[in-house]
């Protein structure tokens, strides 16, 4: 079994877009039998079910858990036979997988697959918060969800910086891209391909991106929810933006 292309980043930060670009570029991110109609809005998010199940086991979970709730969970060893089953699934072909939870479980995956390309993506914290804020729940719960999403955003992106440092030290092919920049700059696709030697297909959906921008009123709410985190947020942007492909 070859080492996979691994896509990491927080939920709602572009991991699905990268996985779609990789999959349509010729590197399977799932098996056709698992996802007959890989449409994001249909609930299928270019994820490999087998690696998703492994991630849940690594997090000590028997049922699906929201990504913003994995922060602080203890990591568990790989389940017996997990890699053997995965090898039977992918064979000797090029392959990859994405699951935002991998950003937390990566130390274990890295031991299992010490080589292979790593692609990371991040997105503005307010755009991420917007998804968790826009629900049909009462306002108190919506605010709690948005605040929890902010805390997760900080944790996930701190993990990304740690992983990139480890990848660079080990000589693994690595690329970091900001979602908004990728949506605006087609030339970044070629830069990613060059950095990790993985062919990509331009699967960007500009209408989908525009529909998910926060309103001015939401931005004001999110600024209030970010009190106490401003310095950490600013520091993360400085480090992430410095490492991101331009």
- Residue-level pLDDT at 38: 52
Q: What is the pLDDT of residue 209?
A: 62
Q: Which of 208, 211, 235, 234 is nearest to 223 (CA)?
A: 234
What does the pLDDT average to over 34-55? 73
- pLDDT-derived band at 44, boundaries 50, 70, 90: low
Binned at pLDDT 50, 70 and 90, residue 207 comes out as confident
Do the beta carbons of residue 135 and residue 191 sit within 8 Å?
no
Give the Cα-Cα-Cα angle 149, 76, 162 (nearest 5 degrees).
Answer: 55
Average of per-residue pLDDT across 41-63: 87
Give the C-alpha separation, 105 to 70, whole Å.
10
Query: What span, in angstroms and rounded, lies between the C-alpha atoms of 178 and 168?
Result: 18
Per residue in 127-144, pLDDT (tens digit) is 999 999 988 789 999 999
Mean pLDDT rounded to a whole number for the chain:
93
**202 — phi, psi (to 5°)?**
-75, 100
Distances (CA, A) of 183 to 25, 39, 195, 220: 17, 19, 18, 24
- Under CATH, what is the fold of the domain 5-243? Rossmann fold (3.40.50)
pTM beyond 0.85: the answer is yes
pLDDT value, residue 211: 58
């Amino acid at each position: 079994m070859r080492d996979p292309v691994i896509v990491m980043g927080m939920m709602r930060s572009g991991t699905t877009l990268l996985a779609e670009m990789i999959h349509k570029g010729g590197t399977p991110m799932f098996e056709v039998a698992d996802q007959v109609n890989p449409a994001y809005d249909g609930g299928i998010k270019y994820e490999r079910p087998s690696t998703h199940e492994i991630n849940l086991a690594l997090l000590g979970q028997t049922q699906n858990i929201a990504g913003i709730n994995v922060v602080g969970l203890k990591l568990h060893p790989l389940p017996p036979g997990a890699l053997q089953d995965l090898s039977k699934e992918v064979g000797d072909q090029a392959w990859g997988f994405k699951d935002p939870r991998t950003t937390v479980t990566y130390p274990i995956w890295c031991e299992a697959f010490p080589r292979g390309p790593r692609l990371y993506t991040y997105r503005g914290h307010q755009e991420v918060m917007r998804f968790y804020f826009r629900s049909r729940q009462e306002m108190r719960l919506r605010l709690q969800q948005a605040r929890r999403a902010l805390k997760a955003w900080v944790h996930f992106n701190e993990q990304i910086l740690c992983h990139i440092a480890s990848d660079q030290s080990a000589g693994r092919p690595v690329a970091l891209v900001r979602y908004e920049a990728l949506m605006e700059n087609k030339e970044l696709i070629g830069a990613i391909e060059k950095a990790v030697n993985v062919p990509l297909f331009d699967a960007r959906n500009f209408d989908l991106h525009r529909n998910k921008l926060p309103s001015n009123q939401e931005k004001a709410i999110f600024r209030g929810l970010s009190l106490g985190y401003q310095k950490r947020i600013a520091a993360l942007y400085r480090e992430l933006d410095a490492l991101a492909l331009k």
